[in-house]
Amino acid sequence: METVPREKLDKEWVSLLKEAKALGLSTEEVRDYLRNHTKSAKTV
């Protein structure tokens, strides 16, 4: 996986991912949610 320089990170995404981690969600669970949510948004 490629590392992104800090100045290019979206602060809202970082905040959301930190919150997901604090809630006990794994990286894979977040990825699965985003994949599924994106697919359903495209079909609507």
pLDDT digits (tens, 9 = 90+) for 21-41: 999 999 899 999 989 987 655
Tell me: pLDDT of 1 over 90: no
Ramachandran sector of residue 24 (left: φ over 0; alpha: ψ -120 to 50; beta: rest): left
Question: How far apart (Å, rounded) are the C-alpha atoms in residues 17 and 26?
Answer: 10
The reported pTM is 0.60
pLDDT at 28: 92
Q: Are 30 and 17 in contact (CB under 8 A)?
A: yes
Question: How far apart (Å, rounded) are the C-alpha atoms in residues 22 and 20?
Answer: 5
Sequence-distant (≥ 6) Cβ neighbours of residue 29 within 8 angstroms: 20
pLDDT at 39: 63
